[in-house]
Structure 1
Amino acid sequence: MELDSDPHILLTNDDGIDAPGIRALHDALSAVGEVTVVAPDRNRSAVGRSLSYGRTNSSDGGDLSLDLEADSFTSPVPHTDHDLGYAVDGTPCDCAIVGAKGLEPAPDIVVSGCNDGANLGAYVFSRSGTVSAAMEAAFLGTPSIAVSMDTLGYDDDLEPADFERAGEIAADLVAGAPGTGLFDRVDYLNVNVPGPKAEPNGFAITRPTEVYEMDAAFEDGRFQLTNRLWQQMSNRDIPDDEDTDRHAVLEEAVSISPLRVPYEVVDTEPVRTVFDRVL
């Protein structure tokens, strides 16, 4: 799918519409196209590809209860107006669907982010709300980009300015795509940017690492989970190959993983020249 040179951009996220990362992307993307924001009204991190279809959201963010009549296939998605666009009482995938299918004109591309925290590895695709929104748009036939920033070990409160580099990269990708045929080869991109204090170290076209390590224990009558990979990330010690997304980010390079739905990693070599033109 070829993008217009003046695209209509749908912007969403999973950290909530008031998060600093989405404000930064809105400002950056507004310089390269018309931006409409449809994002969750509160933090919806790690909800994956869940939908509110057929369910009623509790206002306090609690469980979702079934609320779909047997003879009905339409379910409301409540929203309120926001200075950025629309604040939706729903999930990131809700936002991707209503934005891609419910707005006129329909968006040419969906951008999801910028997430507070990296989304690295194949295991994260269906868990991350940020990546899931981009994937949902891709399933609906709309090119998309998920943008996340590594904030591991960054203890300061984040401001939109901290996401400035991520916004510039997202804008460059959107502005540079027309005329390249990029989204004829790729359905969506998973982009991970090193943290705000990292020194720029170029770009890497990557594949999502397949290494996944979670541990669990039952101690003192309680279950607990331990993410061994994030322990290794914190120590800057990881078991990933050099062509993977996590390896690139720890080298302080911007990782760009070109992907196809449902979970297909694109051969990076044919698209490498496209990215050389875009970036």
Structure 2
Amino acid sequence: MVRDLDILLTNDDGIDGDGLAALRRELTELGDVTVVAPADNQSGVGRKRTTYNTRTVHDWGYAIAGTPADCVAYGLRGLDREFDLVVSGCNHGPNMGAYVLGRSGTVGAAMEAAFLGTPAVAVSAYHNVEFFLRPPEEFDFSAPARIARELTEDCLDADVFDSVDIVNVNAPVDATDPRLRVTHPHDDFDVRVEHTQVDPDDEDLPVPVGDDGELIALRDKFWPHVEGYENPMVDIDDVRDRYPVGSDRRAVVDGEVSVSPLSAPREAAHHEKLDAIVDQRNMT
């Protein structure tokens, strides 16, 4: 069993997040936990980095006035210690799907760790009915935190991180003993563009509009039957079969724990026709 680890813990919901507190309690069973987390909510910033930010001492470590990736970069390179592992979470909502993983601050922190040579686990929680955990204080994060701790321990004991950079976990808060499933990120995503003619002098507009009076809205469609961050679980059976078993979305739809092993480098895809084009261009 793995013990006496030095763990760097962060999140994107802010250092006072309920999910982070639950995960910290669990991870202390594995070793020493140092928290370096955003001073406030930084959801949806991906792997964005900033050059200048400030550090405030916290009972658990440090609060950084920056992004989750800033926190990991500072923790791994700004503290006089070595860490065995970075853990990010528990996020107050799921992070699955190839598009969402690129936008997620939770996964972005884990990706930053991986590029800096430290294995990472990203942990997100969801509810089988409510989907998003809003407000988070009304939900119990202990189950996802426990699952993440047990899975982390098993992965370290089995040397999973010898070939995997990140383990992305989505676990339900409302299941006692959910099934775990190894998954891959599903690529389902679309955008609906909305054009609206408005009065440019309207003070209630979400953003200032020029003299032409046209407001443009980009409505993300993470699920085919809802837009934006609406709860997809209400009519989830209508789209269940769209997602194959083994995808992270299907696991969450079925109330399972999605476990996606990820790599940090952007691997190039070999294509013989592209090779031929380059060879031909080099001959001319």
TM-score, with structure 1 as normaliser: 0.79
Give the number of the structure with larger relative contact order, counting CA–CA contacts within 8 Å between residues 6 or more apart. Answer: 1
Q: Quick one: percent identity of the two aligned structures?
A: 43
CA distance in 1, matches of 2:56, 2:138: 23
Matching residue within 158, 161, 184 for 1:207 = 184
Provide the residue aligned with 1:226 in structure 2.
219
2:55–2:64 CA contact under 8 A, matched in 1: yes
1:161 positional shift: 6.2
1:158 positional shift: 2.2
Q: Does 1:191 align with 2:194?
A: no
Provide the residue aligned with 1:144 in structure 2.
120
Provide the residue aligned with 2:249 in structure 1.
246
Tell me the SS of whatever aligns to 1:159: helix
- Please give the residue correspondences for 1:31-110 in structure 2 after superposition, counting only pairs within 5 Å: 31-53=29-51, 55=52, 77-110=53-86
1:200–1:252 CA contact under 8 A, matched in 2: no
> Residues 248 and 200 of structure 1: is their aligned pair in 2 closer, same or farther, counting only changes over 3 Å?
same
Tell me the SS of whatever aligns to 1:24: helix
Amino acid at match of 1:20: D
Amino acid at match of 2:192: D
1:262 positional shift: 2.5
Gap runs ≥5 in structure 1: 56-76, 265-279
CA distance in 2, matches of 1:200, 1:185: 28
Deviates more, 1:159-168 or 1:210-219: 159-168
Deviates more, 1:128-137 or 1:209-218: 209-218
Query: How many residues matched?
Result: 239
1:11–1:37 CA contact under 8 A, matched in 2: yes
Query: Which has the larger Rg?
Result: 2
Q: Structure 1 runs of 4+ off > 6 angstroms?
A: none
Provide the residue aligned with 2:14 in structure 1.
16
CA distance in 1, matches of 2:163, 2:34: 25
TM-score, with structure 2 as normaliser: 0.78
> Residues 47 and 156 of structure 1: is their aligned pair in 2 closer, same or farther, counting only changes over 3 Å?
closer
- Please give the residue correspondences for 1:117-136 in structure 2 after superposition, counting only pairs within 5 Å: 117-136=93-112
Gap runs ≥5 in structure 2: 198-213, 227-231, 268-284
Q: Does 1:163 align with 2:141?
A: yes
Amino acid at match of 1:252: G
Tell me the SS of whatever aligns to 1:51: coil
CA distance in 1, matches of 2:217, 2:167: 33
CA distance in 2, matches of 1:262, 1:214: 27
CA offsets per residue over residues 202-223 of structure 1, 9 Å max, x none?
1000000011122221123322
CA distance in 2, matches of 1:180, 1:153: 32
CA offsets per residue over residues 141-199 of structure 1, 9 Å max, x none?
100000011244457632396110111012112322333121011011111112x2346
CA distance in 2, matches of 1:52, 1:210: 28
Tell me the SS of whatever aligns to 1:126: helix
Tell me the SS of whatever aligns to 1:177: helix
Matching residue within 260, 264, 282 for 1:261 = 264
Deviates more, 1:100-109 or 1:26-35: 100-109
1:32–1:174 CA contact under 8 A, matched in 2: no
Give the aligned CA root-mean-square deviation in angstroms.
2.1
Tell me the SS of whatever aligns to 1:26: helix
